[in-house]
Amino acid sequence: MGLLDFFSRHANEIGEATLEHIWLTTAAMALAVAVGVPLGILSARRPGFAKGILGGANIAETIPSLALFGFLLPVPWLGERSDRLAIAALALYALLPIIRNTATGILSIDPAVRESAKAMGMTPRQILFQVELPLSLSTLLAGVRIATVLTIGIATIAAAVGAGGLGEFIFRGLAMVNNQLILAGAIPAALLAIAADLFLGILERRLRPAGR
């Protein structure tokens, strides 16, 4: 049986798994951005915190993904549902590039721009929202893009804890020594990653500040 044949016969299943995969990735990214951007801003403000925050995120990044899913299993509330668990673990991985790029983006703003914003009597909040964030948006988005591509790949492992997604085909294929099953998970996952990369790349260029 050819690969295309296999794909068309299991189109429904693959489609469902793809949607699950997108849900896991999107939820994890939303969580990672919600946590990572404020942490990145804090890192840029306080060099003292930056070491701790980036160090912590770095450690999370080095834990083998399968082990991380395992570690989180006994955590109350999180361990109760597999998708919750998977989203938390994925968000943890996505954190580092987001924190780092947010901080880098803010720190690379011309100091004269920040100085004159302050000297004009802008409040720290106004400086953040009118100057720092708009000017670091494209760097920040580059971080989100890296993290998204990474997360789509790692999300295949979520199937190991029963969270679904395209990883299910891969794990099943490995168990049954069936290459077509493995590819039924791997190819859509790769295509998703490419699509996300392209889309976010376009967004990143669009949002690049006009004056650069």
Partner 1 sequence: MTPEADGRNVIEFVHAGYRLPNGTRLLDDVHLEVRQGEVLILLGRSGAGKTTTLKLINRMLEPSEGEVRVEGRSTVEWDAIALRRRIGYVIQETGLFPHFTIEKNIAVVPRLEGWEEQRVKARVGELLELVGLPAGEFRGRYPHELSGGQRQRVGLARALAADPPILLMDEPFGELDPVTRADVRDEFLSLEKRIRKTVVMVTHDVPGAIMLGTRIAVFDGGRVKGVYSPREFLRSEEPEIAAYRKEIRAPADLET
Give residues in contact with partner 1 (CB under 8 A).
Answer: 110, 112-123, 126, 131, 134-135, 209-212
Contact criterion met (CB below 8 Å) for 99 and 54 = yes
First to last CA, the chain: 54
Enclosing H/E stretch for 121: none
Neighbour count for residue 27 (Cβ, 10 Å): 17
Q: By C-beta, is 1 or 112 nearer to partner 1?
A: 112
Residue 115 Cβ vs partner 1, minimum distance, rounded to whole Å:
6
Contact criterion met (CB below 8 Å) for 24 and 163 = yes
Instruction: Provide CB contacts within 8 A for 85, sequence distance 6+.
Output: 69, 72, 73, 75, 78, 79, 161, 163
Contact criterion met (CB below 8 Å) for 199 and 31 = no
Enclosing H/E stretch for 72: helix 65-72
Q: By C-beta, is 2 or 121 nearer to partner 1?
A: 121
Residue 136 Cβ vs partner 1, minimum distance, rounded to whole Å:
10
Q: By C-beta, is 109 or 186 nearer to partner 1?
A: 109
**Interatomic CA distance for residues 56 and 79, integer angstroms:** 22
| Tokens found for residue 146 | 């890296």
Residue 9 Cβ vs partner 1, minimum distance, rounded to whole Å:
52
Q: By C-beta, is 1 or 120 nearer to partner 1?
A: 120
Q: By C-beta, is 141 or 181 nearer to partner 1?
A: 141
Residue 55 Cβ vs partner 1, minimum distance, rounded to whole Å:
25
Neighbour count for residue 68 (Cβ, 10 Å): 21
Residue 45 Cβ vs partner 1, minimum distance, rounded to whole Å:
17
Neighbour count for residue 203 (Cβ, 10 Å): 15
**Interatomic CA distance for residues 67 and 12, integer angstroms:** 31
Q: By C-beta, is 139 or 156 nearer to partner 1?
A: 139
Residue 10 Cβ vs partner 1, minimum distance, rounded to whole Å:
48
